[in-house]
Chain A
Amino acid sequence: MSVTSWTARSATRPASRALKIASRVLEAILFFAAVFFIVVPLVWLVMLAFAKGFNFPSLKPTSLTLQWWHTVLHSPGLLHSVFLSVTITPVVVALSSVVCLPAAYALGRYDFPGKRIVLLSIFSINAFPRISLYIAMIPMLFALNLMGTVIGVVIVQLIGTVLFMTWIPATGFASVPDALVDAARDAGANKYQVFWRVLLPLARPSIAVAAVLSFLAAFDEAQGTFLVGAPNYLTMPIRMYSLVLDYPVQFAAVFAVVLSIPSVALLILIRKHLFAGTNAAMHLR
């Protein structure tokens, strides 16, 4: 590979020796800075969740405890938030697929007037600063009597999923080779059989990725839900807002760890598909 030949060549030049050492040193500095900046805070979070307390400025917890976990898991308000989150989010994803998947199919397999407008509009809605979009929605949600209702929450969360649910499956449908479709037709399959037996199965991975991303987008959506749903519908991420202010930091840390479990698990599950293409250069699995 030419990338390796590049380094091989630079290694043979005596002048680049000093440069190489300097770059190794810089690399090490960057490496530890990144670990400190990105990883250590997360380790700190997990440690908080099991720490009884700290004698400032000591970084060693006074002792380890499961007491915070016990408190969180026995707090009815918090459990209600968990219930809300795990019921509202699937509804949002289901509605989003009803609205977006037929469109994704059409965008992926057909050419029609206005297609570029559809694609651009769907993309550009995400170029709007989120919070001002939600602020702008308020007068209408009031007029429709949807403020503080579960429907209002669903609508707000739905907006954040449209891009995923349309673009990603559309590319999935588009990437099905025409030769396969033609072959199925030649073998006597009708339009519906082609869809159900050929197109849909081949587009399924992209639909799955879109569904997972939509699920996470809705599940983690906090700012719009806070604006529209509070105080009636306090989903899990919104609980974090008040936990941060009103509770011991360890209590919030436990809730934070619990709340990140779905994200981490689902994203690891689809990571290969998600990073496909850009992942090739990475040596790390």
Chain B
Amino acid sequence: MSMESVGTRVVALESATALSGPEAKKPSRHARRRFRAEGRRGGVASALAFLPLIFLAVFGGIPIILSLLLMLGHFGGPNSAVSQLGQGEIPGHGIGTLGAVTQLFENHAYQQDVIATVVVFMVSGVLVLAIAVTLTLWQRLRPSRAMATLQFLAVVPLFIPVVIASFTLWTFWGDRGFTNSAATMLGWSHALIFSGKLQGVVLAEVWVSLPFAVLLMRAGVSTLGDSSLDAARDAGAGLLTVALRIALPQLRRESIIVFCFTAVGVLGSFTVPYIVGPSSPLMLGVNAVNTFSDYNQPQQAAVIGFTIFALAGLIGAIYAIGTRSRHVRH
């Protein structure tokens, strides 16, 4: 989490959501069980619990409504302040207009940005999931010092702020960076330059997302029962079969969580694509900020913001479907 993400970053999550997952999950379940048993009720004290909720409603909930109105072309009321600086605004009447939305989506460059963003968060999510599953499952089925060290290394990025990580990877994979220098000396010039490319964004997003994924998968893998693994093994199943047929299906829930959290983190990231990524196609996070800060188009920025929300809804649907079908099976 970077902590933008660390996750978000987490932190970091990007970074910020990152740590909460495995840490918060276990005790809260325990806590809930205790409450049910006791049914304690606190009058004044419980009112305090709503304080953070009120804060989030005021500074998260209301803004989303205002931003939605802005997107639909309502420039009055609280939105008048921001729309005064706005350029190219498309006013709406009645329910509002989708003029700004169609304007953006008819733009070829914007279509490319949306596609690039989807590709980057899908690929990053799948890669992070694959790496996290491989590292943790391997250590579970065939423990060794090397794999333990590997797992430790995968958590190291948690300690590095996302801005620093992005900058470091940008120079590392850049045209005067470590990889291109090494490749050039081997007569393989320009083969390993990833900065300023979408591949570089994926590399960096994987880098900052890996710690959370590994921590979460490790917690999941540790709950795998020895008995089912041993039984399959005794029945003559090979290691790969055990991993793919026995262990992996039991990790379905964790896998979906890892994929979805990574994907949302990547989708909502700005720093990594801003520093590492290309100027075209732009990831939507960067595009939103540019549209607001550089082009003074708050309405269009709001449209991009809601495009990101919509894509997050898509990831949410993957999460819902993925976790629901598990219940059906069992």
Give the interface of A toward B (CB within 8 A): 2-4, 6-7, 9-10, 16, 19, 23, 27-28, 30-31, 34-35, 37-42, 44-45, 48, 54, 56-59, 99-100, 102-103, 105-112, 114-115, 117-119, 121-123, 125-133, 135-143, 145, 155, 158-160, 162-168, 170-171, 174-175, 178, 213, 216-217, 219-223, 226-227, 230, 237, 240-241, 243-244, 249, 252-253, 256, 259-260, 263-264, 267-268, 274-275, 277-278, 280-284
The answer to whether B184 and A125 have CB atoms under 8 Å apart is: no
Q: How far is the CA of A54 from the CA of B181 in the complex (A)?
A: 10
* B305 at interface by CB-CB < 8 Å: yes
Q: Is B72 an interface residue (CB 8 A)?
A: no
Q: Which B residues form the contact surface with A (CB < 8 A)?
A: 1-5, 8-17, 19-20, 22-24, 26-28, 30-31, 34-36, 38-42, 45-53, 55-56, 59-60, 62-64, 66-67, 70, 77-83, 134-135, 138-164, 167-172, 176-178, 180-182, 184-185, 189, 207, 210, 215, 218-219, 222, 226, 229-230, 233, 238-239, 264, 267-271, 274-275, 285, 288-289, 292-293, 298, 301-302, 304-306, 308-309, 311-312, 316
Which residues in A have their C-beta under 8 angstroms from that of B176?
Answer: 54, 56, 249
Task: State in angstroms the CA–CA spacing of A37 and B39 once bound together.
Answer: 51
Alpha-carbon gap, A267 to B3, bound state (A):
11
- Supposing A6-B230, A260-B161 touch, asked if A217 and B49 sit within 8 A by C-beta, the answer is no
Contact of A126 among B20, B53, B218 (CB under 8 A): B20
For the complex with contacts A130-B5, A140-B63, A143-B77, 5 further pairs of A-B residues with Cβ separation under 8 Å are A6-B230, A44-B168, A54-B176, A128-B309, A216-B3
Judge whether A135 and B301 touch: CB under 8 Å.
yes
Shortest A156–chain B CB gap in Å is: 8
Known contacts A139-B78, A259-B161; decide if A174 and B27 are in contact (CB<8 Å). yes
CA distance A249 to B171 in the complex (A): 8
Residues of A within 8 A of B142 (CB): 7, 10, 23
How far is it, in angstroms, between the C-alpha of A85 and the C-alpha of B152 when the chains are bound? 30
Distance of A235 from chain B, by nearest CB (Å): 10
Known: A128-B309, A241-B275. A159 touches B60 (CB 8 A): yes
Contact B28 A170 (CB under 8 A): yes
Chain A residue nearest to B143 in the complex (CB): A3
Closest chain-B Cβ to A163's Cβ sits at a distance in Å of 5
Chain B residue contacts of A111, Cβ below 8 A: 35-36, 38-41
Contacts between chains A and B (CB distance < 8 A), count: 397
Shortest Cβ distance from residue A216 to the other chain B in the assembled complex, whole angstroms: 5
Contact B149 A284 (CB under 8 A): yes
Question: Are B139's CB and A281's CB within 8 A?
Answer: yes
Output the least CB separation between B215 and chain A (Å): 6
One of B8, B46, B239 near A19 (C-beta < 8 A)? B239
Cβ contacts A to B, 22 pairs, < 8 Å: A44-B178, A54-B181, A57-B189, A105-B48, A109-B40, A110-B42, A122-B52, A135-B289, A135-B304, A136-B305, A138-B67, A138-B82, A138-B301, A139-B81, A143-B66, A217-B1, A217-B10, A219-B3, A256-B163, A256-B168, A268-B159, A277-B219
